Chains A and B, each alone.
Chain A
């Protein structure tokens, strides 16, 4: 009798509870794309661990039929790192939001990329605190009116991709919630990358920040407002592909008309040695020029060492750990 290996479908990764985000929320699309990617990679559900912080985004593990942990606010990367060290065979994912990852969890976000564990961080960026009813977040844009900024946001927004690049991230990608095929492609590319990966997804909050991304979400308007980065190709956009994003002599990103400009266009390379171009693209937020989406940068660097699988039995490791914790200078205090 032959045993056919079980194949997994998207529904095998969906939990018993249907997602409870608001009707119209962009998170629904990201959830669908994530489960499609798991099915495409045929990872058994029991080999996946999804770790989240706090926020609307972080409710996601409840809706999956995988291992999951709804952890402390901003601390998902630390728990995920622990999971990966203890169980390197698992596919570990972090689900976080702009407040969770960049405000209260900003410190952990930086060191997550410095450690470079083979863990994927999906950042749902809706530029507002949705779960707590609409306060300004670190990615809220200038003049954005929120519950805590009735006269408009005064600070410049933080770019998650720029911060990840500065922290030495080995994979940085950006995508948009309604471009489902693109979201799927980015999650798939992140899953196949060996190391810590950031996938920032711009997602529409229908209640507290509705329409924040209309220019880039709408399929018709997106043609004029989005540059989809492809390796080995110029950064072309526009309804007829008539515009191209270029690197000027002054080191700025400028838009040029392909029909009027005969000079050769520079081709994009996500594996370039320097992250300079990726940084410039990460700073482009779609307000003064097009929004670049795709894999901004990737490189192969050593992942966080998982020594446990390489040497010694569990007992030896535990004893070694106890020796390390005790150190050479420790004392026992006993009651008299």
Chain B
């Protein structure tokens, strides 16, 4: 149970400070979500916070491809 950031990510950094579990960090090219920390915001927000604020909608539930 975790979200995943696709390579569409523009590294804008909007999601990182908003994650309640501090699961998001900047990697070399894009931001990444630590699947061990991500709980899809259950019990905190109605929907995953990163997905709802991402301007390019690249925080997805299932790894694409």
Contacts and interface: CB of A to CB of B under 8 A. Distances in A.
Interface in A14-46: 18-19, 21, 23-26, 28-29, 31-32
Given A11-B29, A180-B8, A23 B56 contact: no
Interface residues on B, range: 10 to 19
Contacts of B12: 21, 23-25, 28-29
Interface in B8-40: 8, 10-14, 16-17, 29
Interface of A is mostly: loop
Given A29-B12, A32-B10, A180-B10, A24 B53 contact: yes
B16 to A, nearest CB: 7
B29 A206 contact: no
A139 interface: no
Contact of B10 (A11, A18, A29): A29
B61 interface: no
Contact of A19 (B11, B14, B57): B11
A177 B8 CA distance: 13
B56 A180 contact: yes
Contacts of B11: 18-19, 28, 32
B10 A23 contact: no
Contact of A178 (B13, B14, B55): B55
Nearest to B9: A32
A29 B55 contact: yes
A29 B55 CA distance: 9
Interface of B: 8, 10-14, 16-17, 29, 53, 55-57
Interface of A: 10-11, 18-19, 21, 23-26, 28-29, 31-32, 177-178, 180, 204, 206, 217, 219
Given A19-B11, A29-B10, 12 more contacts: A18-B11, A23-B13, A24-B12, A24-B13, A24-B14, A28-B13, A29-B12, A32-B11, A178-B57, A180-B56, A206-B14, A217-B55
Q: Which 7 A-B pairs have the closest CB atoms?
A: A24-B14, A28-B12, A23-B13, A28-B10, A29-B10, A23-B14, A32-B10
